[in-house]
Amino acid sequence: MSFQIVEQATPRLQRSELAVPGNQTHLFEKAAASQADVVFLDLEDSVAPQDKPKARADVVAALNDIDWTGKCVTVRINGLDTHFMYRDVIDVMEQAAGHVDMIMIPKVGTAADVYAVDMLITQIEMAKSVRKRVGFSLIIETALGMNNISDIASASPRTEALHFGVADFAASTKAQTTNIGGANPDYAMLTDAGPDGRRERHWGDMWHFAIARMVVAARANGLRPIDGPFGDFSDSEGYRATARRAAALGCEGKWAIHPSQIQPANEIFSPSEAEVDKARHILHALAEAQKEGRGAVSLDGRLIDLASVRQAEVMVRKAEAIARRENG
Ligand code: COA
Ligand code: MG
């Protein structure tokens, strides 16, 4: 192990993250009543420029008036290259600070972008004597942001999660895509010909590098990596496949741009019963070994290493949080 300890961000369930356009007030109550772990009220790209001031006021009112108990509530502010962003931060933080858990910053390009928003929010929290410190969710969705991802990930102690914003990332890198977050048949290779002369076409995941890169930057800084949107909400199998591959790479959750994507995300990003049982057994074996003063811990004839114990603790805590969410 390194001498450097990686501090973990405030633990939260972030399996499913429901996107709600800030000008669609009729969706707010539905989002609060949904099974999504996180709801993000959007002031950025789903709101047209002429609607921004009204959406901002509506979002502030919704933060204060709606019962968000049990939800992690996030507001996506506008980018730092717009003149909307400062007013988003000031109005949300001055008028609804106690009701917002995270501010989501889109299109983060450099560590200084995060620093700037942190400075502004820190001043507001001090001036208004806000007790609850708001967290940050950062969207990595430009070539610049991906290039600077290590510095961005360590820029502020407020940061809890990095998100991969696939649509803007594709635009920024000029990648050729067909649907948001899905596969592209052109990202494929042909195998050599078999005995029958036939060649197979193997599709690849063109987002592998970006997601894997984000996972490393996030985990190295104790943050949660979250996969972004999958646009075709009528393709539930396609959504599930992208969520599973994100989970396989280490992501903790995925956006839902439609309520039908919430349940699959919650299911795919929850540990299975078998995994949780095994984790409980490991912790039980550890407790027994400690009681008996034994240093080495074994289970079913195998030595348990410290990494497994730590993983087991994280998994059991997560399972307990999920049970609390589902029963409460
Ligand atoms: N949050 C909460 N409820 C939602 C919702 C959302 N994001 N999207 C849809 N619903 C509700 C609908 O109001 C409808 O409710 P009802 O059964 O009470 O009538 C139900 O879920 C089914 O919706 P449906 O009719 O299938 O979809 P739609 O045509 O109303 O909306 C979208 C489709 C894509 C426009 C809508 O889902 C949406 O705005 N998604 C978010 C997009 C976004 O935020 N993008 C930016 C980030 S990428
Ligand atoms: Mg975007």
What local confidence, expressed as pLDDT, does residue 107 receive?
Answer: 98
The pLDDT tens digits for 87-134 are 999 999 999 999 999 999 999 999 999 999 999 999 999 999 999 999
Give the count of alpha carbons within 13 A of 138, CB side only.
Answer: 35
What are the φ/ψ torsions at residue 186 (nearest 5 degrees)? Answer: -75, -20
Residue of the nearest CA to atom 5 in ligand 1?
258
* 3-state secondary structure at position 106: coil
Alpha carbon nearest to ligand 1 atom 21, residue: 259
Mean pLDDT of 194-219: 97
Pocket mutation for ligand 1, best pick of 24, 27, 47 (most atoms within 8 Å of C-beta): 27
pLDDT, residue 310, reads 87
At 321 the pLDDT is 94
Which residues lie with the beta carbon below 6 Å from any ligand 1 atom?
Answer: 18-21, 24, 27, 30-31, 42, 45-46, 229, 257-259
Percentage of the chain with pLDDT > 90?
88
Q: Is the dihedral of CA 124, 94, 107, 135 positive or negative?
A: positive
Residue nearest to atom 35 of ligand 1 (CA): 258
- pLDDT score at 50: 98
CA atoms within 13 A on the CB side of 177: 20
Q: Give the Cβ contact number of residue 255 at 10 Å.
A: 24
pLDDT confidence tier of residue 298, bands split at 50, 70 and 90: confident
Instruction: Tell me the residue length of the chain.
Output: 328
Q: Are 107 and 79 in contact (CB under 8 A)?
A: yes
Instruction: Kindly report whether the global pTM for this prediction surpasses the value 0.85.
Output: yes
Max Cα–Cα distance, the chain, nearest Å: 75
